[in-house]
């Protein structure tokens, strides 16, 4: 999972790209990068948080009215400086590209590009593969002079990418002397929103981003989404072209609503905040159905992604909502930390239980999901250590049983507790009196109940094992699990 943003404006875009990446920091804390252009490409990248990478000196070098930015959370490729996006190539024109997603057929594509096409791959990142595919096809489609003709050239290149790739990808790209491009895979698995900002002189600035979180502060008006299989081109003169190249079943990732996205985001025309409220409502109904004689004294979220669901769940049960676990805001998101050791180390620094809210009470902990189980186990131990009478654990997400190969860090079945243990065994492992998972139909209903979203069905392969790309068999699954483990170990 990563955050991407592209801006075309009438003035320098560097500071607004920086602000956008701050708003997208929750989508990746491993690294970040910005590329702008005027007469040439200007780039700045680094490992760590956005605020630690960019400063007044290097920001002043990022000149130009068109640019793209990226916050990285690696699901494919290594962890070094060379893997940091955006990537760029000099031929043709000068193309910079940032990508959120994951290519299932990366290995086959990399072999084609290095073998038949004689291209050199400097990293193991699937984004570099995407860049080479797009740039090669763009160069082969002619050398158009007009904006309209160049858009047709772009469409041919993007269609070539669609034809060759399998997996998820939302992409922003900048082409020197041409403008800004955005496109999204035919199933729309990863999000990509767009917005416009009108100036007093009648000109219009454009933004494309993983989320709408920065639109208000930068005064952009939301204009919907880049649709699945659609490509946008904003020329340097400000002309906007768009075309839907492929129509497939629309299957956006459901885990975006459960965990990754900020609650103030409108994603695929669905409010993330409202979807999480509905998750809590549906959990309350199931709790009453399955445990009609059991009522907690307080409901406590495992902050902060679960706060919204916990709030509505407590309301439906008629139980007091309490922030019984204080979250240190300066500790990163444990789910997206690059190793289990870091997750275990950080959780006790991240969360501090409030004894006065917990002692001698029946405590219901609400979590967004249980992936590996270790974080949940430690949270329960902390709450029991503060003197809880009983501990119930409720999760807004159904059991995560399968790896995600579309951009979420659920790389191996051996790391997924629900793939190894029954619900009762998980209850015993994390040490609670009652464990309640959200049911898949209830989660889908919570996401799709409201909004003019046109979602055919969410992608939830991690829950139900149905991979929309259709090419994930046992052999492919083992290949990708091995690849991910090798990436982690630096092989």
| Domain architecture of the chain: domains with CATH | 3-249 (3.60.20.10), 273-455 (3.40.50.2020)
In the set 2, 397, 404, 459, the catalytic residue is 2
Dist CA 297 CA 293 (whole Å)? 13
Q: How confident is the model at residue 118 (pLDDT cuts 50, 70, 90)?
A: confident
Q: How confident is the model at residue 479 (pLDDT cuts 50, 70, 90)?
A: confident
253 is catalytic: no
* Helix (H) or strand (E) run with residue 286 in it: helix 272-290
Express each pLDDT in 176-208 by its tens digit: 999 999 999 999 999 999 999 999 889 999 999
pTM value surpassing 0.85: yes
Region 411-425: what's the mean pLDDT? 92
pLDDT at 125: 93
Structure tokens of 78?
Answer: 């290594």
pLDDT at 79: 64
Q: What angle do CA 391, 304, 311 make, to 5 degrees?
A: 65
Express each pLDDT in 279-312 by its tens digit: 999 999 999 999 999 999 999 999 989 999 999 9
Mean model confidence pLDDT for the chain: 93
String of DSSP letters for 417-469: HHHHS-HHHHHHHHT-SEEEEPPHHHHHHHHHSSSS---S--B-HHHH---TT
Q: State whether the Cα torsion 303-307-313-315 is positive or negative.
A: positive
Which three-class secondary structure state does DSSP give residue 333? coil
Q: How many CA atoms lie within 13 A of 65 on its CB side?
A: 15
Region 227-247: what's the mean pLDDT? 97
């Amino acid at each position: 999972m990563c955050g991407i943003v592209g801006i075309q404006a009438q003035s320098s875009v560097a500071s607004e790209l920086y602000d956008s990446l701050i708003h997208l920091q929750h989508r990746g804390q491993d690294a970040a990068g910005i590329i702008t252009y005027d007469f040439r490409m200007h780039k700045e990248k680094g490992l760590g948080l956005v605020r630690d990478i960019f400063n007044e000196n290097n920001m002043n070098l990022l000149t130009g009215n068109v640019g793209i930015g990226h916050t990285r959370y690696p699901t494919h490729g290594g962890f070094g400086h060379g893997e940091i996006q955006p990537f760029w190539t000099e031929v043709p024109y000068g193309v910079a590209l940032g990508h959120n997603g994951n290519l299932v057929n990366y290995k086959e594509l990399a072999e084609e590009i290095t073998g038949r096409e004689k291209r050199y791959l400097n990293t193991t990142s699937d984004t570099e593969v995407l860049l080479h595919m797009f740039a090669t096809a763009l160069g082969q489609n002619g050398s158009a002079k007009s904006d309209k003709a160049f858009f047709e050239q772009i469409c041919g290149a993007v269609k070539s990418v669609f034809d060759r790739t399998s997996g998820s990808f939302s992409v922003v790209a900048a082409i020197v002397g041409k403008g800004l491009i955005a496109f999204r895979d035919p199933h729309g698995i990863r999000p990509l929103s767009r917005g416009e900002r009108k100036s007093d002189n009648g000109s219009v600035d454009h933004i494309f981003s993983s989320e709408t979180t920065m639109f208000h502060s930068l005064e952009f008006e939301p204009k919907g989404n880049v649709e699945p299989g659609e490509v946008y081109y904003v020329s340097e003169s400000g002309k906007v072209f768009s075309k839907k190249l492929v129509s497939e079943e629309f299957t956006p990732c459901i885990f975006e609503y459960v965990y990754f996205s900020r609650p103030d985001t409108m994603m695929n025309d669905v409010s993330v905040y409202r979807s999480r409220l509905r998750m809590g409502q549906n959990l309350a109904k199931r709790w009453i159905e399955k445990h009609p004689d059991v009522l907690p004294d307080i409901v406590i979220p495992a902050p902060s992604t679960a706060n919204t669901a916990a709030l509505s769940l407590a309301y439906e049960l008629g139980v007091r909502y309490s922030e019984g676990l204080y979250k240190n805001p300066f500790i990163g998101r444990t789910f997206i930390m690059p190793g289990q050791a870091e997750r275990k180390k950080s959780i006790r620094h991240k969360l501090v239980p409030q004894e006065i809210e917990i002692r001698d009470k029946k405590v219901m902990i609400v979590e967004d999901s249980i992936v590996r189980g270790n974080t949940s186990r430690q949270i329960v131990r902390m709450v029991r250590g503060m003197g809880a009478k009983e501990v119930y654990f409720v999760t807004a997400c159904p059991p995560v049983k399968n790896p995600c190969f579309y951009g979420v860090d659920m790389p191996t079945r051996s790391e997924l507790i629900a793939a190894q243990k029954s619900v009762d065994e998980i209850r015993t492992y994390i040490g609670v009196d009652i464990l309640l998972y959200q049911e898949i139909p209830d989660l889908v209903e919570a996401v799709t109940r409201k909004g003019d979203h046109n979602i055919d069905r969410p992608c939830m392969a991690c829950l139900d094992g149905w991979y929309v790309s259709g090419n994930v068999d046992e052999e492919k699954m083992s290949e990708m699990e091995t690849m991910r483990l090798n990436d982690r170990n630096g092989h």
